[in-house]
Structure 1
Amino acid sequence: MSNKIYTIGREFGSGGKAVGEALANRLGIKLYDKELLQQAAKDSGFCEEIFENHDEKPTSSFLYSLVMDTYSVGSYNSSPFLDMPLNHKVFLAQFETIKKIADRESCVIVGRCADYALADYPDCINIFIHSDMENRVKAVSKRLNITENKAKDLIQKKDKQRASYYNYYSSKRWGDSTSYHLTLDAGKLGIDGCVDMILKFREIMDAQK
């Protein structure tokens, strides 16, 4: 049997990471969020700071097709790869690390276009977590100890960054329900409710095989 993988896209402040953590704890598997950057740095030989600086940051300077055409060539040591802009190298290194992790173990992966990287993995469930703006503003304001106005501005900025990154590197649209197997409102369901829904989805999916 192949590994059971769960990818989680999320609006900023929606509780997406908390859902991922609760899901991983419930299943006794690992969660990869910032840990993915550490692993990608180790696998690629790039320093971790490079991945942190480019983490889910948008880009608009080069065509998406260049990325995938070069990726199909393969090696980090190949001439096309060496000639690529740094942000593309970072994306491809993460892309490859995500696949390595999924091949190695069942896990939960947060963000970083993991659903797109694992599109060919039949036991991968792709989830998007959202919540209404009022809930998110309160959560971010409390977590970061900032005013609600600043929290709202930060939410809008982070959502725009994540959308730009996802839409650029994948063939799908960030937050669009057709891009995922499940879209869940954490504000309505709560963290545990979202986990229950994800596990029920897995149960039904496995039963239909």
Structure 2
Amino acid sequence: MSGNLVITIGRQCGSSGKIIGQKLAEEMGVKCYDKELLALAAKNSGLCEELFETHDEKPTNSFLYSLVMDTYSMGYTTSGYMDMPINHKIFLAQFDTIKQLADQESCVIVGRCADYALADYPKVVSVFITASDEDRIASLKKLYNVDDAKAKDIMVKTDKKRASYYNYYSSKKWGDTRSYDLCINRSAVGVDGAVKMIRAFAETKQEWLNKNT
């Protein structure tokens, strides 16, 4: 376990969480991992990258969740998989890759239960980004070139998928303020404001840790 600063970002669909993560990483001079994490996990595990894209942040059932946690607690790594469901292999591969990244470098990681994977890492800052429905729909309309109804449909379905994935694979609840160090309403402060707040919070947390360890 390293002392690298890793900032994890959970986000509502259309809240600009990815954009905030990318801009934050740029200002910090570190890498931002989102879809890039899938390619790394595929490379580390030897599994096909298309499988990761197909199963990306998609929930499984509670039985598979139990298998995942039981196997992980026994110390299996991506190189030690037995015969198990593909969802299981993909989750473990991402879980291990997130830990490897945190051990190797300071970075920003968007989504994929990264805050849960790094729960034992003291210098991790977990953030959740939200925004008003109006702003989120406007962002999605522009991103996908769709009307209000389609944008709202994308927003609702994506949030449901992310919540189900997070709630199954972690011991916390997606979007619950108690699950994160910091929650920010992008509609209230804008993208640049959110980046500024995260950097200030991270610095404050590091100072606090240094004084109390």
Query: Counterparts of 1:76 and 1:123 in 2: how far apart (Å)?
Result: 25
Q: What's the counterpart of residue 60 of structure 1?
A: 61
Answer yes or no: is the 8 Å Cα contact 1:128–1:182 preserved in 2.
Answer: yes
Amino acid at match of 1:203: E
Query: Counterparts of 2:79 and 2:127 in 1: how far apart (Å)?
Result: 34
Name stretches of at least 5 consecutive residues in structure 2 with no aligned partner: none
Q: Deviations over 1:140-183 (max 9, x none)?
A: 01111011100001100000000000000000000000000000
**CA shift at 1:62, angstroms?**
1.6
Q: What's the counterpart of residue 125 of structure 1?
A: 125
Q: What's the counterpart of residue 87 of structure 1?
A: 87
- For the structure 1 residues 6 and 47, does the alpha-carbon distance in structure 2 shift closer, same or farther, using more than 3 Å as the test? same
Q: Which moved more, 1:198-207 or 1:122-131?
A: 198-207
Name stretches of at least 5 consecutive residues in structure 1 with no aligned partner: none
Q: What's the counterpart of residue 164 of structure 2?
A: 164
Query: Counterparts of 1:63 and 1:140 in 2: how far apart (Å)?
Result: 32
- For the structure 1 residues 72 and 180, does the alpha-carbon distance in structure 2 shift closer, same or farther, using more than 3 Å as the test? same
Q: Deviations over 1:68-88 (max 9, x none)?
A: 11012314454xx32321111
Q: SS where residue 9 of structure 1 aligns?
A: strand
Query: Counterparts of 2:142 and 2:125 in 1: how far apart (Å)?
Result: 31
Query: Counterparts of 1:60 and 1:131 in 2: how far apart (Å)?
Result: 29
Query: Counterparts of 2:122 and 2:18 in 1: how far apart (Å)?
Result: 23
**CA shift at 1:65, angstroms?**
2.8
Q: SS where residue 160 of structure 1 aligns?
A: helix
Q: What's the counterpart of residue 16 of structure 2?
A: 15
- For the structure 1 residues 62 and 199, does the alpha-carbon distance in structure 2 shift closer, same or farther, using more than 3 Å as the test? same
Query: Counterparts of 2:206 and 2:161 in 1: how far apart (Å)?
Result: 35
**CA shift at 1:192, angstroms?**
0.9
1:108-187 alignment runs, 5 A limit: 108-187=108-187
Q: SS where residue 82 of structure 1 aligns?
A: coil
Q: SS where residue 63 of structure 2 aligns?
A: coil
Amino acid at match of 1:5: V
**CA shift at 1:58, angstroms?**
1.1
Amino acid at match of 1:17: K
Q: 2:15 matched to 1:30?
A: no
Q: Which moved more, 1:58-67 or 1:164-173?
A: 58-67
Calculate percent identity across the aligned residue pairs: 58
Amino acid at match of 2:8: T
TM-score by length of 1: 0.96
Q: Deviations over 1:21-62 (max 9, x none)?
A: 110011000000000000000000001000000000011152
Answer yes or no: is the 8 Å Cα contact 2:52–2:90 preserved in 1.
Answer: yes
**CA shift at 1:66, angstroms?**
2.0
Q: What's the counterpart of residue 199 of structure 1?
A: 199
**CA shift at 1:63, angstroms?**
4.7
Amino acid at match of 2:53: E
Query: Counterparts of 1:76 and 1:205 in 2: how far apart (Å)?
Result: 32
Q: SS where residue 129 of structure 1 aligns?
A: strand
Amino acid at match of 1:25: E
- For the structure 1 residues 203 and 143, does the alpha-carbon distance in structure 2 shift closer, same or farther, using more than 3 Å as the test? same
Query: Counterparts of 1:119 and 1:33 in 2: how far apart (Å)?
Result: 19
Query: Counterparts of 2:43 and 2:186 in 1: how far apart (Å)?
Result: 34
